Structure 1
Amino acid sequence: MPYSMMLDSGHGGSDPGAVYRGRREKDDTLRLTLAVGEILQENGIEVLYTRTTDVYLSPYERAVEANQAGVDFFLSIHRNSYPTDNEVMGVESLIYDLSGLKYQMAQEINEQLETVGFVDLGVKARPNLVVLKRTRMPAVLVEAGFINSDTDNELFDSNFQDIAQAIATGVLDTLENAGVLKEPETPVEQTKYRIQVGLFRNRNNAARQQEALEDRGFPAYIDQWKQYYRVISGEYDMLDEAVAAQRRLKRAGFETLLIQ
């Protein structure tokens, strides 16, 4: 089973979140969440969303949705705000407590966002936030810059795709380092058992053998092998089925060879 994550776009609907000069947090978070989710999906993560449109969900409803989906991780994306405009800038991540996989991921996301140009304000414990307290899986809330910081907004707009990639990279690197993400196993091809009922250098002779088999009610086809034409009857997943079919062919007077 692929690793699964619930991505939560902060606010929405009747709740715009923080607002600055007409800019609404709920719009920035939805756009960024969808961009992050696309990258994670391209890298093999099963992604679910609390919302993909401008609708309102309470924090408790978001936690319940993640719990009912049974996802492995919960990531909520927000924009920050400060009482005084243009006084504080940077990114910070919030988690229930400073331990475990969530702490590693929060740190990694912040470090990745710092490479884009944000100031890293650190990882902080917020045990009373509903989406961190009520989710049964590890959860991180990322504050992707201050919405009332012109510097952060300029960075957000001019480096949007890099920011989405930074968050996704933080997630993926953490999971890989923790040994959670595994390389997909190469599927083992199912062994097929076939019954050879003739080997000919001349295709016309092979065609006559094919016709003889079909006249007796046996399935048959011609398979080219090296410089020969093999007449094959049947293809079976189970060895005992192939052996039973081989017996029927022998009773009908055909010389057979069981091959894979």
Structure 2
Amino acid sequence: MRKLQPAHGGADPGAVYQGRQEKDDNLKLALAVGERLQNSGLDVYYTRTEDIYQTPYQKAMAANESGADFLVSLHRNSSEYPNQYTGVETLIYDKNGEKAEIAEDINEELENIGFRNNGVKIRPGLVILRRSKMPAVLVESGFINSEEDNRLFDEEFDRIADAIADAILKNFSLTGEEETEQEETYYRVQTGAYRNRENAVRQQEKLTEEGYPAFLLEREGYYLVQVGAFRKLENAVRMEAHLRENGYQTYITT
């Protein structure tokens, strides 16, 4: 299971350049990468699929609670002056384990598209890297205040999404359940993960009373409350938005 975290959102636009907001680029890229991973048979969780704000700590905790085995945080870089710097870089907590290899692969794949490769950097002070329990990488996909990087981001967007997905897939083989799900993927909206079954049942019953097609799953010691089973991601996104409007904490899974 992989977790995709599009950085910023809501009242926090991230870096801004000539009206372009980092949060929008991050979300667009996260959904594109996630769709490619899901089409390859991997389970994917998103910290957000719409324009909402979460603190880095909240995002790390959401990743931990989901049981994901890898976290990819998507950003765009910025500098003090326009067109001062260009290129991609990937940040990690330390150079131990598979995260360092995936970070190197992501940079190399993006370099092949035309980005300058600024390397893998160690950033142990970043909350999303420090507080997540699973290996994590933070990808800076070009400078948002670089005309050249923006041109690449827009013109080569599909190749960028393919590159990041390919770098992740290189390090994960499909086995068991993931191979089965590869044949047909359904998107679902999760509203809760509980150790206590009674708490999960209460939320499921509340959702059902409100007219939502809610159901209960048991996985790895947790009772998961989920809504719907959609063949198209955009339908799941609409359901998630409706649930959030009604006060539920949600994310999309498969």
Pair in the same fold by TM > 0.5: yes
- Bigger relative CO (Cα 8 Å, ≥ 6 apart): 2
**What pairs up with 1:21-170 in 2 under 5 angstroms?**
21-170=18-167
Q: Which amino acid in 2 is paired with 1:86?
A: N
The equivalent residue for 1:171 is: 168
Distance in structure 2 (CA, Å) of the matches to 1:19 and 1:94: 21
Which whole-Å deviations, capped at 9, do the CAs of 1:119-162 have from their partners, x for residues lacking one?
Answer: 11000010010000000000000000000000000000000000
Q: 1:19 aligns with which of 16, 19, 27?
A: 16
User: What is the CA-CA distance between 1:186 and the residue it aligns to?
Assistant: 8.8
Q: List, as ranges, runs of 4+ consecutive aligned residues in structure 1 with deviation greater than 3 Å.
A: 181-187
Distance in structure 1 (CA, Å) of the matches to 2:27 and 2:177: 30
The equivalent residue for 1:222 is: none
- Relative to 1, partners in 2 of residues 1:134 and 1:115: Cα closer, same or farther, differing over 3 Å? same
TM-score (norm 1): 0.67
Q: Secondary structure at the match of 1:175?
A: coil
Q: Which runs of no fewer than 5 residues in structure 2 stay unpaired?
A: 181-254
- Relative to 1, partners in 2 of residues 1:171 and 1:185: Cα closer, same or farther, differing over 3 Å? closer
User: What is the CA-CA distance between 1:175 and the residue it aligns to?
Assistant: 2.4
**What pairs up with 1:171-190 in 2 under 5 angstroms?**
171-176=168-173, 181-182=174-175
Contact 2:42/2:178, CA 8 A, preserved across alignment = no
Q: Which runs of no fewer than 5 residues in structure 1 stay unpaired?
A: 188-260
Contact 1:108/1:174, CA 8 A, preserved across alignment = no
Q: Secondary structure at the match of 1:140?
A: strand
Q: Secondary structure at the match of 2:170?
A: helix
The equivalent residue for 1:255 is: none
TM-score (norm 2): 0.69
Q: Secondary structure at the match of 1:123?
A: strand
Distance in structure 2 (CA, Å) of the matches to 1:173 and 1:99: 18
**C-alpha RMSD over aligned residues:** 1.5
- Does 1:9 pair with 2:6? yes
Distance in structure 1 (CA, Å) of the matches to 2:77 and 2:20: 13
- Relative to 1, partners in 2 of residues 1:79 and 1:185: Cα closer, same or farther, differing over 3 Å? closer
Which whole-Å deviations, capped at 9, do the CAs of 1:17-38 have from their partners, x for residues lacking one?
Answer: 0000000000000000000000
Q: Which protein shows a greater Rg?
A: 1
- Relative to 1, partners in 2 of residues 1:133 and 1:186: Cα closer, same or farther, differing over 3 Å? closer
Distance in structure 2 (CA, Å) of the matches to 1:186 and 1:19: 41
The equivalent residue for 1:230 is: none
Q: Which amino acid in 1 is paired with 2:38?
A: Q
The equivalent residue for 1:204 is: none
Contact 1:82/1:148, CA 8 A, preserved across alignment = yes
Contact 2:41/2:178, CA 8 A, preserved across alignment = no
Q: Which amino acid in 2 is paired with 1:138?
A: P
Distance in structure 1 (CA, Å) of the matches to 2:153 and 2:109: 14
Q: Secondary structure at the match of 2:137?
A: strand
